[in-house]
């Protein structure tokens, strides 16, 4: 199982947290891994493969077109670049110098996060609106649609919206003010799957582009993602991502992806070139996407819940800690186990427990997001059969159960 890692002297870990990049993402199904291996055994025209991917992504998202990226962050970069340049190859060649282009991108302060490096790297000016009163506890309101409207001007290339279950304002209200000024809306929906219905939801609510991670719930290759949305923007994204080092008269791009007749010439290696995608990732992502849709939310949830049950059962009752199986679908799309640590009773903080699990053998990674509230959290998305029991046993050992 761990042969390749052993060969390079790297231990495998138990990922009881989730598909974080630092923990190497999710685990691919054998069919996905086999599809990638097979893809690696033949060469194809990469644009033709992306055109085929566009159809598959369009079918599952309701988008006009789609594209396989090297992750959601790459999707944000390509989407932003597409909104800034349109189909103008001169502009594409000039990025990240945005002189003379629409180059302001509007974002609510409460949506800001360090993944927006991908947006900023295009050379835009990020315009923040609103104050995060709701998050600081000082107020009840987040950014409001009128504040987007006030910030949008003739130089605005796009609005970037980060979708979480708790995100305010509503996407449809932001789309309304942005579209009133003919400004496209890019949605970062990297981790917003499941439910599978979210594949089409943000576009149905009016988003022009939406970016998903391929290496999270879809369980595709870790360095894959989806960009879906308006055909013209996907075309502009593709032009700044594909290797177009080819003679113009020789160039025959697939009509499903690129309309050559609309271009005065082809851009050179674009701003998206550093986040290139291989045939293996494209085929792996498409295979994983089809499996993700086919399995369905209920079966996936049942599979995840079973692992969380096994983990809670193996942990049993612990001295100085309360084990809670969180299985209410209304509270969380993904089941979880929360272990509330009573620091006085067990002499350890939640962070101590997270570290002891991580530094033990095998190394078990819990989700540290709630340690300040004394909670060690566990998620099912990257656990393999047999591992929940090991996590429960390690918890008993660490807490002296
Ligand atoms: C995970 C995540 C990303 C990055 O996704 P990648 O597929 O790893 O590039 C971007 N934005 C948000 C909100 C995320 O959760």
Mean of pLDDT values over 352-370: 98
Query: Which range, of 47-51, 136-140, 392-396, averages the lowest pLDDT?
Result: 136-140
Report the pLDDT averaged over residues 114-136.
Answer: 95
Q: How far is CA 347 from CA 91, 278, 315, in A?
A: 60, 50, 18
Three-state secondary structure readout of 272-289? CHHHCCCHHHHHHHHHHH
Distance separating alpha carbons of residues 306 and 335, to the nearest angstrom: 9
Query: Given this model, what pLDDT does residue 134 score?
Result: 86
* pLDDT greater at residue 319 or residue 63: 63
Ligand 1 midpoint to CA 375 (Å): 24
Identify the pLDDT of residue 400: 87
Residues 217-249 pLDDT 10s: 999 999 999 999 999 999 999 999 999 999 999
d(CA 269, CA 278): 16
Packed helices 46-61 and 279-295: angle between N→C axes, nearest 10 degrees? 20
pLDDT range class, residue 375, cuts 50, 70, 90: very high
- Averaged pLDDT score across all residues of the chain: 96
Nearest-CA residue for atom 12 of ligand 1: 190
User: Once rounded to an integer, what is the mean pLDDT over residues 366-392?
Assistant: 98
Express each pLDDT in 159-201 by its tens digit: 999 999 889 999 999 999 999 999 999 999 999 999 999 999 9
pLDDT at 1 over 70: no
Give CA separation, 82 vs 10, 174, 199, in Å. 40, 20, 21
Between the CA of 73 and the centroid of ligand 1 the distance, in Å, is 6
Tell me how far the alpha carbon of residue 191 lies from the centroid of ligand 1, in angstroms: 7
For residue range 88-103, what is the model confidence (pLDDT) as tens digits?
999 999 999 999 999 9
Token couple for 201: 């939801």
Of 71, 72, 198, 223, which is best to mutate to test ligand 1, by the most ligand atoms within 8 angstroms of its C-beta?
72
For residue 146, is the peptide bond before it cis, meaning its omega torsion is within 30 degrees of 0? no
pLDDT band at 13 (very low <50, low <70, confident <90, very high): very high
Identify the residue whose C-alpha is closest to ligand 1 atom 8: 71
pLDDT on residue 329: 85
Q: Which residue has a Cα nearest atom 13 of ligand 1?
A: 190
Residues sharing a CB contact under 8 Å with residue 92, sequence separation 6 or more, in sequence order: 81, 85, 236, 239, 240, 267, 270, 271
State the burial class of residue 142 (Cβ atoms within 10 Å of its Cβ: 0-12, 13-18, 19+): buried
Structure-block tokens of residue 244: 């177009």
Task: Tell which atom from ligand 1 comes closest to the C-alpha of 213.
Answer: 7
Pocket of ligand 1 (CB under 6 A): 21, 71-73, 115, 162, 188, 190-191, 213, 215, 225
Q: How confident is the model at residue 2 (pLDDT cuts 50, 70, 90)?
A: low
Nearest CA to ligand 1 atom 14: 190
Cα gap 395→229, rounded to integer Å: 45
Atom of ligand 1 nearest to the CA of 215: 7
Note the Cα 373 to chain centre separation in Å: 26
Q: Percent of the chain scored above 90 by pLDDT?
A: 95
Q: How many angstroms does the Cα of residue 100 sit away from the middle of ligand 1?
A: 30
Note whether 10 and 379 are within 8 A (CB): no
Confidence of residue 132 (pLDDT cuts 50, 70, 90): confident
Residue 255: which residues within 8 A CB-CB, separation 6 or more? 51
Beta bridge partners of 211: 188, 227
pLDDT for res 110: 95
CA dihedral 34, 225, 167, 378 (to 10 degrees): 30
Tell me the residue length of the chain: 401
| 3-class DSSP state of 150 | helix
- Find the 14 Cα to ligand 1 centroid distance in Å: 21
Q: Is the dihedral of CA 39, 45, 48, 53 positive or negative?
A: positive
pLDDT of residue 135: 83
* Helix runs in 265-368, H state only: 279-295, 297-315, 343-346, 350-359
Q: If you average pLDDT over residues 370-379, what whole number do you get?
A: 98
Distances (CA, A) of 103 to 69, 80, 181, 219, 341: 22, 9, 15, 34, 49
- What local confidence, expressed as pLDDT, does residue 246 receive? 96
∠ Cα 116 89 275 (to 5°): 40
Residues 6+ apart with CB under 8 A from 204: 62
């Amino acid at each position: 199982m761990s042969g390749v890692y052993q060969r390079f002297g790297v231990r495998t870990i138990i990922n009881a947290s989730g598909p974080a990049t630092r923990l190497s993402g999710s685990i691919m199904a054998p069919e996905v891994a086999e599809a990638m291996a097979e893809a690696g055994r033949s060469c194809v025209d990469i644009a033709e493969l992306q055109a085929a991917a566009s159809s598959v992504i369009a079918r599952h998202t309701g988008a006009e077109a789609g594209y396989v990226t090297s992750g959601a962050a790459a999707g944000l970069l390509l989407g932003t670049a597409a909104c800034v340049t349109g189909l103008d190859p001169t502009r594409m060649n000039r990025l990240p110098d945005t002189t003379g282009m629409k180059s302001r991108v509007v974002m609510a302060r409460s949506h800001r996060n360090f993944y927006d490096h991908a947006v900023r790297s295009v050379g835009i000016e990020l315009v923040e609106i609103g104050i995060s009163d709701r998050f600081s506890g000082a107020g009840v309101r987040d950014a409001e649609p009128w504040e987007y409207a006030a910030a949008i001007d003739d130089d605005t290339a796009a609005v970037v919206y980060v979708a979480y279950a708790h995100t305010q304002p509503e996407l449809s209200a932001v789309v309304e003010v942005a579209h009133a000024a003919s400004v496209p809306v890019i949605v970062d929906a990297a981790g917003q799957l499941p439910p599978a219905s979210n594949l089409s939801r943000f576009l149905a609510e009016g988003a022009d582009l939406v970016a998903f991670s391929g290496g999270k719930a879809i369980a595709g290759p870790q360095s894959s993602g989806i960009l879906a949305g308006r055909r013209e923007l996907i075309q502009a994204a593709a032009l700044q991502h594909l290797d177009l080092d080819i003679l113009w008269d020789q160039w025959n791009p697939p009509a499903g992806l690129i309309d050559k007749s609309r271009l005065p010439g082809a851009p050179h290696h674009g701003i998206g070139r550093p986040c290139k995608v291989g045939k293996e990732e494209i085929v792996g992502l498409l295979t994983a996407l089809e499996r993700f849709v086919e399995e369905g939310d209920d079966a996936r949830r049942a599979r995840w819940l079973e692992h969380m049950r096994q983990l809670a059962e193996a942990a049993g009752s612990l001295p100085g800690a309360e084990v809670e199986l969180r299985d209410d679908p209304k509270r969380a799309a993904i089941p979880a186990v929360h272990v509330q640590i009573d620091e006085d009773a067990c002499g350890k903080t939640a962070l101590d427990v997270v570290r002891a699990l991580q530094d033990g053998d095998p190394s078990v990674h819990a989700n540290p997001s709630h340690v300040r509230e004394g909670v060690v959290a566990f998620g099912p998305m990257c656990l393999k059969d047999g591992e929940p029991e090991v996590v429960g046993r390690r918890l008993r050992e660490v807490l002296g159960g």
